[in-house]
Chain A
Amino acid sequence: MIRRISAIAGAELRIALRNRWILIATSLMVLFSLALTFSGSAPTGALGVDLLTVSVASMTTLSVYLVPLLALLMSFDAIAGEVERGALALVLTYPVSRGELLVGKLVSHLVVLSLAVFLGFGIAGLAAWLAGGASGESLAALLRLCWSAVVLGASFLAIGYALSSVARSSSAAAGLAIGVWILFVVLYDLGLLGALVFDGGGFFTRKLFPLLLAANPADAFRIFNLSGAGKVALASGLAGATTGLPSWAVLVSMFGWPLAILALARLALKRVEP
């Protein structure tokens, strides 16, 4: 089993390297992180925190948009594309299970994503450290940001595989992926914001809103990074929004989503007739 999973992951990694996915994803992360770190460096003096702390807060907001996008771009074609090329039919005549195929692809895509995230945030973090100083606390926040961004990516990779299995064609899967990205990353927050304004501090605002916020993997990631470490929370101002939210809710959402959607993707893949 391990041999087959690693065979698929190895081949997928090689493909990602050849078609420059690794290069594109990594340089995108490096560029944006550096740009944010230095353009967002103004509030350091006012808040009394080091540059790296502010940088982590900015990079968290960046990740909420960029990591799901990268993950969906990598995964939307994973099944539908292979069905279109006729490659899935051939692979499935080998003694490899659909689950092994899925895990193999997931492993390779997680490696690509980790490279992009750790290199991108690492380089930006290093630059912030050199330019404006860092502390043990802000370094811990950076590390926390990196691994939680990969977990966030796993959710959206799994969503991409599920969409790719359900869609009839690669282009339909691409459309669905864009729709999901807009829904989770943009519209969801706008909807909550609208409801907050409408509710005006009632039951919804106090009880329902924090749970709904945590239920979205992208928002859970935001809460985890922005309200977790004290100084980052100060730099972001999100802490107030999540009072009354049990701390386990965020973790359940962060780790529950990728596992649940991966199981869903496995079911969807089972129904695919290659």
Chain B
Amino acid sequence: MVAAVEGRDDMLEVRNVVKRQGLRETVSDVSLSLRAGERLALLGHNGAGKTTLIRMILGLTRIDGGSISVFGNRPGDGKARRITSYLPESVVFHKSLSGLEQLALFARLAGQPVKACAPLLERVGLSDAANRRVGAYSKGMRQRLGLAQVLLGRPRLALLDEPTSGLDPISRHDFYGIVDDMAAQGTAVLVSSHALTELEARTDRIAILRAGKLVAMDSLENLRRRAGLPIRIHVRAADGHADEVAGTLGGNRMNGCRVELSCTADQKMARLKAITALGDAVADVDVVPPSLEDLYRHYAAGEAGS
């Protein structure tokens, strides 16, 4: 019963998908699913297979093994195309058309009313440039125009390929705001990125591709727990106590008065007790949890033998 309901909720179902280029597998045995209203960040280095996977979901690239279902439809067929929208990584619109004309073309192709275009341009902050030619747009503006066409007709599945690369921090923030709105309206959103920042971390689940293989797919908390990355503790010794502190605690002596320790999450309190037991010999303590970058590197680069 539960499985059946889940099956119906799945907007996207990718099962054991394989793509070969010559003898090399650029995507190997990838499975993932996406429910309505869910946000999934698909992370990986350049060449990890993110774009290939997205293109297979769109039906632009043939699948060499496995299967993909877009709400029960084959990728690229009429129904799948009607409910899916896509933002390519580097979108080059025709430079002679204005932003509004370009969006109107997409609206007509999608069978949407052309009058829906102006409000969408306003939503992505392009109202003032609506009648200017795309040739005069900056990269950020072109990206916004690309996002506007994603919003056409309230898609049920949105695939955004590195949408924020080349955007300034404020635009990136606005961008993820729109992604959140789409998800709130029930759209399943897949966002690919080559970095894990606070913005990507706000998604519901994170999938990480390494050399075509899915090496992780979970919520941020679970990824953190499973990685078991060490917590670093920076201890600053009081004047003249550096040798005493380093000798008692172990760890690396960084310079005249600093000592760096690392420990696992469950050792943390014990280490802190040992530090406070040194009393006045310790001048200051910093506890540094593993950063998002550390976490991403752990999975995406295959550090620590995982």
What's the Cα separation between A108 and B84 when bound, in Å? 28
Cross-chain contact A93 with B58 (CB below 8 angstroms): yes
B2 to A: closest C-beta gap in Å: 33
Cross-chain contact A8 with B105 (CB below 8 angstroms): yes
Number of interface residues of B (CB under 8 A): 29
Cross-chain contact A94 with B110 (CB below 8 angstroms): yes
Kindly state whether residue B32 has any CB partner on chain A within 8 Å: no
A132 to chain B: which residues have CB within 8 Å?
none
Q: Residues of B at under 8 Å CB distance from A?
A: 55, 58, 60-62, 78, 81-82, 84-86, 88, 90-94, 96-97, 101-102, 105-106, 108-111, 133, 149
Kindly state whether residue A39 has any CB partner on chain B within 8 Å: no
Extra inter-chain contacts (10) besides given A14-B96, A86-B88, A90-B91, CB under 8 Å = A3-B111, A11-B94, A11-B102, A14-B101, A89-B55, A90-B149, A94-B81, A94-B110, A95-B110, A273-B62
Cross-chain contact B94 with A87 (CB below 8 angstroms): yes
Q: Would A89 and B60 be within 8 Å (CB), given that A18-B96, A94-B110 are in contact?
A: yes
Kindly state whether residue A92 has any CB partner on chain B within 8 Å: yes
Cross-chain contact B109 with A7 (CB below 8 angstroms): yes
Q: Residues of A at under 8 Å CB distance from B?
A: 3-4, 6-8, 10-11, 14-15, 18-19, 85-87, 89-96, 273-274
Q: Would A93 and B86 be within 8 Å (CB), given that A4-B108, A87-B93, A274-B60 are in contact?
A: yes
Cross-chain contact B106 with A94 (CB below 8 angstroms): yes
Cross-chain contact A91 with B94 (CB below 8 angstroms): no
What's the Cα separation between A268 and B149 when bound, in Å? 28
Q: Would A19 and B96 be within 8 Å (CB), given that A89-B55, A89-B88 are in contact?
A: yes
B79 to A: closest C-beta gap in Å: 9
From A10, A15, A86, A95, give the contact of B81 (CB < 8 A): A95
B222 to A: closest C-beta gap in Å: 32
Q: Would A93 and B96 be within 8 Å (CB), given that A86-B90, A273-B61, A274-B60 are in contact?
A: no
Which of B58, B81, B108 has the most A CB atoms < 10 Å from its CB?
B108
Which of A6, A85, A90 has the most B CB atoms < 10 Å from its CB?
A90
What's the Cα separation between A239 and B267 when bound, in Å? 101
Cross-chain contact B111 with A95 (CB below 8 angstroms): yes
Cross-chain contact B92 with A93 (CB below 8 angstroms): no
